[in-house]
Chain A
Amino acid sequence: MNSPELAQKKLVEVISRYDKPTVLGKIMFIFFFLVLLFAIYAFITQTIKGQIVTGMRDYVVWGIYDVNFIFFIGISYAGAMISGILHLLHVEWRKPIIRIAEMITVISVIIGPVFILVEMGRLDRIFNIFTHGRIQSPILWDVVAILTYLSCSILFLYLALIRDYALLRDNTVLKISKFRRYFYKKLAATYIDLPQQKKFLNRALTIMSALIIPLAVLVHSVLAWIFGMTIRPGWHSTIFAPYFVVAAVFSGTAVLIIAMWFFRKFYHLEEYILEKHFKYIGTILLVLAALYGYFTFSEYLTVWYGSETWELEVVYKLFDFSAYGAWFYLAAFVGVLVPMIFTGLPFLRNINTITIGSVVAVICMWIKRYLIIVPTLETPLLPLQDIRPEYAHYTASWVEWTLTAGGIATFCMFFMIFIKFMPIIPVADIAEVSEKKEFISEKL
C-alpha cells in the first residue's frame, strides 16, 4: 500500500470515529453555550453598572480575572513546550498528541487575554494602548508579547495542519460539506507532497517550533514582570519570571493530559492515544512538579528567613490557617505531591491516576495564582485604616465566577468547534510513521 492511500484510509478511520456528534456531545455543547450566554449577560451587567458588581475594591484591584488570565496563558504552554521541544528533538511518539497540544495553545491564548479586557475599567478605550502606548509599561510588553505569541501559535498549528488539509481535500469517501471542502482546499495551499514542498514545510515547522519556545518563555516572563515590577510584598521577586514559566509549563502539561484523556474517552481514540503517551507526558509532569515545588520552596524559604515586615505579613497570611493557610498548603503541597506520586510510583501509574494527578495539579495551580495575587493586594504598605471595612478583603462576586465559568465553557466549546475543521490526530504524520514501521501496535 503506498503512502497516500494508507493516509487516506487512516484519515477516514480517524474522522469517522468522532465526526458524527453524539447526544452527549450535543448536550454538552448546548450547556457550554448557555454558560457562555450567561457570562455575556454578566459582562453586560458589569459594563452597565461598572465594576462595582465585582468583588474588586480599592485595595484588591485585581481579582480572579487576573487569576484566570495567568491560568489560561499558563495552559497555553502545552502546545509551545511539548510540541515545540518534542518536534525539535524528533521524538516520534509525540505525533498523536501534538495536535491536541497545539489546539490548547491557540484556544487558551485567545481566551486568556479576554479576561484582561474584562478586567479593564474602560474597555471602550482599549485602542489608547496603540495610540498612546508607552514602552516603559509592562502591560505594553504583555500586549506585544501575547499578540506575537498568538500569531505564532496559530501559524504553528496551521503548518502542522497543511498535510492533513491536503488529505481532506483529496478525500472522496468522507461526507464533507461544500463549505468545508472549499475551506480545506484553500488552506491546503496546493500541497501535493512534492519533495520541495516537503522540504519547505519541514523547514517552516522547524523554524516555528524553535521560535515558539523562547516566545512562550518571554510571554510568561512578561506576565510575571507585571507583578515583579511593583514594589509590593510577595511580588517584587527576582525569581518571579522563571517561577511563572515553570508553573505555566506544569499546568499546561497537566491540562494536556486531561485533554488527552477526554479525547481518548469520548472521541474513541484509544488506538492512537496510548497509555505510553500518558506515561511519557506523566514523566514530564513529574519533573515539572518537582521543579515547581523547588521554586515554591525557594521563594517562601527566602522570604520567611528574612524579617521584612510586609513580606512576612504576606507569608504569614499564607501559612496561617485563619487566613489562607488551608489553600496554601493545598496548592503548595497537595498540588505538587499528588501528581508526583501518581506519575512517579510505577504501581500507581495508569491512565486514570495520571489524569487525576493532572486534575489536582490544574486546580491547585489556579488556587496558587489566586494566592499570588490576592493576599499581596490585601497587604498594603500603609495601615488598612480610614477605609470602608469591606474594602479590606476580597471575595469574588457572582459576575466574576460567571465569567470564569464562561471562560472554561468557551475553552471546551472551542475544542468542539475546532475539531470540526481539523483532524484531532495528525493523520498524515502518523501514516508516514506507520509506513516506516508498524506503528500502531501494542508493542510500542
Chain B
Amino acid sequence: MRQKKIVPVLIILTLITGFIQTAFAGDLVTPRLDGTYEKMPDGTKKISVSLSASIDDKRVYIENAPLQVSAENETGKTLLGSAVTNLKGKAFFEISPGKSIPEDKEGYYTFVIQYEGNQKFNITSKTIRVKELFMEISFPKSDSIINVQVSVSAKNDKGVKETVQDIPVEFYVKRLFGLFKFGSEKTDASGLCTAEFPKSLPGDTTGKAIIVAKVLDNEFYGTVGASVDFKKATPLILEPKQKRGLGDTDAPLWMVYTLLVLLTGVWFHVIYVIGLVIRINIKGKKALKKTIMTE
C-alpha cells in the first residue's frame, strides 16, 4: 500500500531530476541564494533561506541541498550550523535568544550562508549583515483612548543602547489566523512612536490581547518584532449555549413530552388489550377445569 503511493512520487522525482540533468548537461549553473533575517518577539533570531536556480527562464527550487551558516567578524568565522533545503528549496535556522553571536566593531552581526555546490551547481554564498534592534511596548495613560507606545533602541559602537529615530514601526494585534495591523508610525527624535488601539476590537473573554510591534525588512536591522500582553481590551461576551433545540443534542421539552404522552397513550391501550387476551385465556382455562371436575 505504502509502496504504491511512493512509486508515483519517485517517478516524478526521477523525471524532475532527469529534466534538470538534461537541462544543464555540461556547464555549471550558479544558483540564487536568498536570505532574510528576523528577530522574533521572544528574541529568537531566525534566518530563512531560499535556494533556487533559473533554468529556461523558470525558477526551479533546489531541494535537499546542504547549507552552512556561520557568523563572521574581524577575528574570524564561527560555524553556527548546517541545514538541508526542503522540497520547496527553503531552509530555516533558528538561533535561541541566549546564544552569543560574534559581532564586529560597529556592533553588526554578519551571517554567511554557504552552499557548497555539486556537479551541477556552483558554490554560492549569501551574506546578511544586520544590527540587533531592541523594541519595547508600553501603554501610556490617556483618558478615553488606548495608546500603544513603542520605543526603539540599538547599541551604538560603544555597546551602549541608544534610541533610534525615524524608523517605521507597524502595530499589530495577534489574532487566531495571523496579525491584524492597526497602525503604522515612524519613531520620533526620542525613539518613540504611538498608535491608537481600536477600542472596538475585542480581546478574549478576560479582555486580553497580544500586541505585536514590528520593524519590517529594514536595511540595517532586518525584521524585528516585539510583543506584549495587553489586558485591557474589550472583553468578549459569549452567548450562553442553547441546550435544547432542533439542532442541539437534546430535543425541546415540548417534543419530549408530546412523544411521551402519545407513546404512553397508545402503549397503555395495547398492554390493556393484551391483558384482555390473557384474561380470556385464564377464564377459558378455569371454565375447562370446572367442566372436567364436574364430570
Direct contact of A and B (CB under 8 A): yes
Show the binding face of A for B, using Cβ within 8 Å: 134-136, 141, 144, 148, 151-152, 155, 159, 162, 189-192, 194, 196-197, 200-201, 203-204, 207-208, 211, 215, 218
Q: Is B180 in the interface zone, CB < 8 Å from A?
A: no
B251 within 8 A of A: yes
8 A Cβ contacts from B267-295 to A: 267, 269-270, 272-274, 276-285, 287-288
Tell me which of B255, B263, B272, B279 contacts A148 (CB under 8 A).
Answer: B263
How far, in angstroms, from A151 to B269 measured CA to CA in the complex? 12
A159: contacting residue among B251, B255, B273, B287, CB under 8 A: B273
- B202-252: which have CB < 8 Å to A? 246-247, 249, 251-252
Point out which of B256, B272, B283 has the most chain A C-beta atoms below 10 A from its C-beta.
B283
Are B263 and A194 touching (Cβ within 8 A)? no
If A136-B255, A211-B266 touch, does A192 touch B287 (CB 8 Å cutoff)?
yes
Q: What's the Cα separation between A102 and B249 when bound, in Å?
A: 39
Q: CA A136 – CA B284 in complex, angstroms? A: 46
Question: Who on chain A is nearest to B273 by CB?
Answer: A204
Known: A190-B282, A191-B280, A200-B279. 15 other contacts (CB 8 A): A135-B256, A136-B246, A136-B255, A148-B263, A151-B270, A162-B277, A162-B280, A190-B285, A190-B288, A191-B284, A192-B287, A194-B283, A200-B276, A200-B277, A207-B269
Complex Cα distance, B256 from A194, in Å, reads 43
Which partner residue on chain A sits nearest B265 by CB separation?
A211
Residues in chain B near residue A155, CB distance under 8 A: 270, 273-274
Q: Is the CB of A148 within 8 A of B266?
A: yes
Count of interface residues, chain B, beta-carbon cutoff 8 Å? 29
Residue of B nearest to A189 (CB): B281
Interface status of B87 (Cβ within 8 A of chain A):
no
The answer, yes or no, to whether B259 is at the interface (CB within 8 Å) is yes
The answer to whether A207 and B263 have CB atoms under 8 Å apart is: no
Across-interface contacts of B249 in A (CB, < 8 A): 134
Q: How far is the CB of A431 from chain B (nearest CB, A)?
A: 19
- Smallest distance from the beta carbon of B279 to chain A beta carbons, Å? 6
The answer to whether A215 and B276 touch across the interface, beta carbons within 8 angstroms, is: no
- Taken together as a complex, chains A and B put the C-alpha atoms of A135 and B262 apart, in Å, by 13
Q: How far is the CB of A144 from chain B (nearest CB, A)?
A: 7
Residue of A nearest to B251 (CB): A135
Tell me if B283 and A211 are in contact (CB < 8 A).
no
In whole angstroms, how far apart are the Cα atoms of A144 and B258 in the complex? Answer: 13
**CA–CA, A203 and B256, complex, Å:** 31
Find chain A residues with CB under 8 A from B251 CB: 134-136
A and B contact pairs by CB, cutoff 8 A, 10 listed: A148-B267, A152-B270, A189-B280, A189-B284, A190-B282, A190-B284, A190-B285, A191-B281, A196-B283, A207-B269
Chain B contacts of A203 at CB under 8 A? Answer: 276
Residues in B whose Cβ lies below 8 Å from that of A148: 263, 266-267
Q: Are A194 and B287 in contact (CB under 8 A)?
A: yes
State whether A135 touches B280 (Cβ < 8 A): no
Q: Give chain B residues whose Cβ lies under 8 Å from the Cβ of A197.
A: 280, 283-284
Residue in A closest to B252 when the chains form the complex, CB atoms: A136
Q: Would you list which residues of chain B between 25 and 84 have a CB under 8 Å from chain A?
A: none
Taken together as a complex, chains A and B put the C-alpha atoms of A162 and B280 apart, in Å, by 10
A147 vs B287: C-alpha distance when bound (angstroms): 36
Q: How far is the CA of A134 from the CA of B272 in the complex (A)?
A: 29
- Residue on A nearest B256 in the bound complex, by CB: A135
Chain A residue contacts of B255, Cβ below 8 A: 135-136
Question: Which residues of chain B are within 8 angstroms of A190 by Cβ–Cβ distance?
Answer: 280-285, 288
Report whether A211 and B263 are in contact in the complex, using a CB–CB cutoff of 8 Å.
Answer: no
Q: In whole angstroms, what is the CA distance A204 to B279 when docked?
A: 11
Report Cα–Cα, A148/B284, bound state, in Å.
29
Contact of B284 with A144 in the complex, beta carbons under 8 Å: no
B residues less than 8 Å from A215 (CB atoms): 266
Q: A148-B267, A155-B270 are in contact. Are A204 and B283 (CB under 8 A)?
A: no
